Amino acid sequence: MRADAIVFAIAGSLFGLIVGWVLGSQQAAGTARLAAPVAQAAAAPAQAGSQPAPVDPARVQAMETVAAQNATDPQPRVQLGNMFFDAEQYPQAISWYEQAIKLNPKDANVSTDLGVAYYYTNQVDRALAQFDQSLKNEPDHIKTLLNVGIVRAFGKQDLAGARQAWERVATLSPNSPEGQAAKKGLEGLKNAHPETGGAKP
């Protein structure tokens, strides 16, 4: 699963930016526009750290051959999607993840990876719709729920929706990395935008 790319990059560096953004939005006479540097960082968190893993053309060709020979097996398509995702070649990742999901529509991990790839290509509504599909299959999928909060906060400026998703993560898995990231997001909302409700007392 590649969704941890958004989970941990944003948990490590971008939750603090929520505070700056929400404070800025308070001072902007009610406008809810996301500041460009925050939007860019949220859309491509891997750029802030290491370089993306390069795609090995020979490995891609070999996996494409395997995929062609196994028309009903989603796994080679998932692996190809992961390779392109890691290389930050999101349109290609989307193509392979979509093929994998057609073969196994109940795979919440791949569905969530697909949603994250949609988000990274500025398809916010498609990302949220894909996360909804993941949650239909696994209602308590914590990586999906954490990503719902991130996309609602950064992509839709829906702080109440972000709070709701993060509260659920913190309740379901308080000691996991996702739970800790959700708590940071909730604390940022609580400190900067108390009217959203922030973290539960």
DSSP letter string over 66-88?
A: HHHH-TT-SHHHHHHHHHHHHTT
Per residue in 82-140, pLDDT (tens digit) is 999 999 999 999 999 999 999 999 999 999 999 999 999 999 999 999 999 999 999 99
Residue-averaged pLDDT of the chain: 80
**Does the pTM of the predicted model rise above 0.95?**
no
Per residue in 151-184, pLDDT (tens digit) is 999 999 999 999 999 999 999 999 999 999 999 9
pLDDT attached to residue 137: 95
Report the candidate in 195, 156, 197, 150 with the shortest Cα–Cα distance to residue 169: 150
- Domain assignments of the chain as residue spans, ordered by start: 4-196
The domain defined by 4-196 folds into 1.25.40
Asked whether the beta carbons of 21 and 41 are under 8 A apart, the reply is: no
Interval 29-51 mean pLDDT: 39
